[in-house]
Amino acid sequence: MTLRPPQGSSRKAPVVALDYEIAQEQASALGRLGRALEAALAALADHDEIDHDMAGHEAEPTRNAERKRLVREAGEALWYFIVQREACGLRDPRPVIRDYRVPVEVYARMGVREPR
């Protein structure tokens, strides 16, 4: 479905058109960030599934480091998505946490920045 700018008086038309363009970009950005969050959570779940299949084997330090990186990336993707939702007027993060099945450790990493 394609959104169409609302029709208005000629004096309000530039403002209405700008509002429409901003809303369209906000929705587009929200979609991109939602897909990025889904991908980050899927990568973490895939990693955990492999670790579960290897139960009983000693975890390699590189696997642990990889998992920490995936949790960090998922936390950052969640942060970006939540901030964009708030920019769109959606203030409650609970539906995102529930619907995307965000692990507690990812939620805890949301907004945390690593020192460079």
What range defines the domain where residue 38 resides?
A: 13-109
Percent of the chain with pLDDT over 70: 84
Give me the mean pLDDT over the 19-36 stretch: 94
3 in the Ramachandran plot: left (φ > 0), alpha (ψ -120 to 50) or beta? beta
Higher pLDDT, 44 or 10: 44
Instruction: Give the number of domains in the chain.
Output: 1
Residue 57 covered by a domain = yes
Residues 6+ apart with CB under 8 A from 96: 78, 81, 82, 85, 102
Residue whose token pair is 């403002």: 15
pTM to 2 decimal places: 0.80
Residue 6 covered by a domain = no
| Residue 47, CA atoms < 13 Å, CB-side half-sphere | 19
Give me the mean pLDDT over the 80-107 stretch: 96
Residue 58 covered by a domain = yes
pLDDT digits (tens, 9 = 90+) for 50-80: 877 666 565 677 888 999 999 999 999 999 9
Ranges assigned E (strand) in 53-114: none
Residue 98 covered by a domain = yes
Confidence of residue 28 (pLDDT cuts 50, 70, 90): very high
Name the residue among 36, 37, 32 with its Cα closest to residue 107: 37
Higher pLDDT, 114 or 99: 99
Residue 71 covered by a domain = yes
Q: So what's the pLDDT on residue 39?
A: 98
Name the residue among 22, 36, 17 with its Cα closest to residue 81: 36
